[in-house]
Amino acid sequence: MQIVTTAPFGEQMTADDILQVMQDLHGWEEKYRQLLQWGKQLPAMPESLKSDEIMVSGCESRVWLLAQQREGLWFFAADSDARIIRGLIGVIMAACQGKTSAEINAFDMAHYFQQLNLLSHLSPTRGNGIRAIVSQIKALTQTQTESLI
Protein backbone atom coordinates (compact mmCIF):
# COMPACT_ATOMS: atom_id res chain seq x y z
CA MET A 1 0.00 0.00 0.00
CA GLN A 2 1.40 3.35 -1.04
CA ILE A 3 0.63 6.27 1.26
CA VAL A 4 -0.23 9.52 -0.45
CA THR A 5 2.69 11.91 -0.30
CA THR A 6 0.72 15.14 -0.38
CA ALA A 7 0.01 17.46 2.50
CA PRO A 8 -2.86 16.42 4.78
CA PHE A 9 -5.30 18.92 3.28
CA GLY A 10 -4.43 18.24 -0.34
CA GLU A 11 -2.25 21.34 -0.49
CA GLN A 12 1.12 22.22 0.94
CA MET A 13 0.16 23.53 4.36
CA THR A 14 2.92 23.73 6.94
CA ALA A 15 2.89 24.07 10.71
CA ASP A 16 3.62 27.78 10.21
CA ASP A 17 0.57 28.08 7.94
CA ILE A 18 -1.58 26.37 10.58
CA LEU A 19 -0.28 28.75 13.24
CA GLN A 20 -1.02 31.78 11.06
CA VAL A 21 -4.58 30.67 10.30
CA MET A 22 -5.32 29.90 13.94
CA GLN A 23 -3.80 33.15 15.20
CA ASP A 24 -6.01 35.10 12.79
CA LEU A 25 -9.14 33.53 14.28
CA HIS A 26 -10.92 35.06 17.26
CA GLY A 27 -12.10 32.83 20.06
CA TRP A 28 -12.43 29.13 20.59
CA GLU A 29 -15.61 28.76 18.53
CA GLU A 30 -13.89 30.02 15.37
CA LYS A 31 -10.91 27.77 16.01
CA TYR A 32 -13.21 24.82 16.63
CA ARG A 33 -15.04 25.45 13.35
CA GLN A 34 -11.71 25.65 11.53
CA LEU A 35 -10.61 22.32 13.03
CA LEU A 36 -13.88 20.73 11.91
CA GLN A 37 -13.33 22.14 8.41
CA TRP A 38 -9.81 20.73 8.29
CA GLY A 39 -11.20 17.42 9.52
CA LYS A 40 -13.57 17.35 6.54
CA GLN A 41 -10.66 18.04 4.18
CA LEU A 42 -8.42 15.31 5.61
CA PRO A 43 -8.37 12.41 3.13
CA ALA A 44 -10.34 9.46 4.50
CA MET A 45 -8.48 6.23 5.10
CA PRO A 46 -10.07 3.31 3.24
CA GLU A 47 -12.06 1.08 5.60
CA SER A 48 -10.02 -1.92 4.41
CA LEU A 49 -6.90 -0.42 6.02
CA LYS A 50 -8.46 0.35 9.39
CA SER A 51 -7.36 -2.45 11.66
CA ASP A 52 -6.44 -2.97 15.30
CA GLU A 53 -2.77 -3.23 14.28
CA ILE A 54 -2.64 0.42 13.25
CA MET A 55 -4.98 1.79 15.92
CA VAL A 56 -3.41 4.35 18.25
CA SER A 57 -3.80 3.28 21.87
CA GLY A 58 -4.50 5.94 24.47
CA CYS A 59 -7.12 7.80 22.44
CA GLU A 60 -10.71 8.23 23.57
CA SER A 61 -11.80 8.04 19.93
CA ARG A 62 -10.70 5.44 17.45
CA VAL A 63 -7.62 6.66 15.56
CA TRP A 64 -5.74 4.77 12.86
CA LEU A 65 -2.22 5.74 11.79
CA LEU A 66 -0.08 4.45 8.93
CA ALA A 67 3.46 5.64 8.30
CA GLN A 68 5.81 5.06 5.41
CA GLN A 69 9.35 6.25 4.82
CA ARG A 70 10.52 6.89 1.27
CA GLU A 71 13.86 8.37 0.29
CA GLY A 72 14.42 9.47 3.88
CA LEU A 73 11.10 11.30 4.19
CA TRP A 74 8.08 10.21 6.22
CA PHE A 75 4.51 10.18 4.95
CA PHE A 76 1.44 9.49 7.04
CA ALA A 77 -2.16 8.50 6.57
CA ALA A 78 -4.45 8.81 9.56
CA ASP A 79 -8.14 8.82 10.32
CA SER A 80 -10.51 8.96 13.26
CA ASP A 81 -14.17 8.36 13.96
CA ALA A 82 -14.32 11.79 15.69
CA ARG A 83 -14.56 14.91 13.53
CA ILE A 84 -12.57 17.15 15.86
CA ILE A 85 -9.79 14.57 16.10
CA ARG A 86 -9.63 14.40 12.29
CA GLY A 87 -8.93 18.14 12.29
CA LEU A 88 -6.31 17.79 15.00
CA ILE A 89 -4.70 14.92 13.06
CA GLY A 90 -4.37 17.28 10.11
CA VAL A 91 -2.72 19.87 12.34
CA ILE A 92 -0.22 17.23 13.50
CA MET A 93 0.37 15.93 9.99
CA ALA A 94 1.05 19.45 8.68
CA ALA A 95 4.06 19.47 11.00
CA CYS A 96 5.26 15.96 10.09
CA GLN A 97 4.30 15.09 6.52
CA GLY A 98 7.26 14.82 4.14
CA LYS A 99 9.85 15.40 6.86
CA THR A 100 12.91 13.39 7.93
CA SER A 101 13.06 11.44 11.18
CA ALA A 102 15.38 14.08 12.61
CA GLU A 103 13.01 16.92 11.68
CA ILE A 104 9.99 15.12 13.14
CA ASN A 105 11.71 14.21 16.38
CA ALA A 106 13.25 17.68 16.78
CA PHE A 107 9.89 19.42 16.26
CA ASP A 108 8.49 20.62 19.59
CA MET A 109 4.89 19.48 19.25
CA ALA A 110 4.01 20.58 22.81
CA HIS A 111 5.16 24.13 22.03
CA TYR A 112 3.29 24.03 18.70
CA PHE A 113 0.03 23.11 20.43
CA GLN A 114 0.72 25.70 23.13
CA GLN A 115 1.09 28.36 20.41
CA LEU A 116 -2.16 27.15 18.84
CA ASN A 117 -3.88 27.44 22.24
CA LEU A 118 -5.97 24.34 21.59
CA LEU A 119 -5.33 21.85 24.38
CA SER A 120 -6.75 24.11 27.07
CA HIS A 121 -10.11 23.94 25.27
CA LEU A 122 -10.14 20.17 24.87
CA SER A 123 -11.06 17.59 27.48
CA PRO A 124 -8.14 15.97 29.29
CA THR A 125 -8.85 12.68 27.49
CA ARG A 126 -8.72 14.44 24.09
CA GLY A 127 -5.41 16.04 25.10
CA ASN A 128 -4.08 12.63 26.11
CA GLY A 129 -5.20 11.27 22.75
CA ILE A 130 -3.31 13.99 20.89
CA ARG A 131 -0.20 13.20 22.92
CA ALA A 132 -0.66 9.49 22.12
CA ILE A 133 -0.81 10.22 18.37
CA VAL A 134 2.32 12.38 18.55
CA SER A 135 4.12 9.75 20.65
CA GLN A 136 3.28 7.04 18.14
CA ILE A 137 4.50 9.17 15.22
CA LYS A 138 7.77 9.90 17.02
CA ALA A 139 8.22 6.25 18.00
CA LEU A 140 7.56 5.04 14.45
CA THR A 141 9.97 7.53 12.92
CA GLN A 142 12.73 6.60 15.36
CA THR A 143 12.53 2.86 14.79
CA GLN A 144 11.45 2.17 11.21
CA THR A 145 13.33 2.47 7.94
CA GLU A 146 11.99 2.23 4.42
CA SER A 147 9.02 0.11 5.41
CA LEU A 148 5.29 0.28 5.67
CA ILE A 149 3.95 0.17 9.18
> What b-and-e string marks burial along 62-96, b requiring 16 or more CB atoms within 10 Å of the CB?
ebbbbbbbeeeebbbbbbbebbbbbbbbbbbbbbb
Residue 149 falls inside a structural domain: no
Residue 2 falls inside a structural domain: no
Element housing 75 (H / E) = strand 73-80
Q: Which of 13, 42, 59, 130 is catalytic?
A: 59
- Residue 98: CATH number of its domain: 3.90.1010.10
Residue 101 falls inside a structural domain: yes
| Per-residue model confidence (pLDDT) at position 102 | 94
Q: Quote the number of domains for the chain.
A: 1
Q: What percent of the chain shows pLDDT beyond 70? A: 88
The yes-or-no verdict on residue 3 having pLDDT over 80 is: no
Return d(Cα 140, Cα 144) in angstroms, integer.
6
The yes-or-no verdict on residue 83 having pLDDT over 60 is: yes
Residue 100 falls inside a structural domain: yes
The yes-or-no verdict on residue 7 having pLDDT over 90 is: no
Average pLDDT for 42-48: 91
4 — pLDDT class (breaks 50, 70, 90): low
What is the tens place of the pLDDT at every residue in 11-28? 578 999 999 999 999 999
Domain with 138, as residue range(s), is 15-143
The yes-or-no answer on residue 96 being catalytic is no
Residue 96 falls inside a structural domain: yes
Phi, psi of 70 (to 5 degrees): -135, 125
Write the CB contacts of 58 (distance below 8 Å, at least 6 apart in sequence): 128, 129, 131, 132, 135
The yes-or-no verdict on residue 149 having pLDDT over 90 is: no
What is the tens place of the pLDDT at every residue in 106-146? 999 999 999 998 888 888 888 899 999 999 999 999 865 44
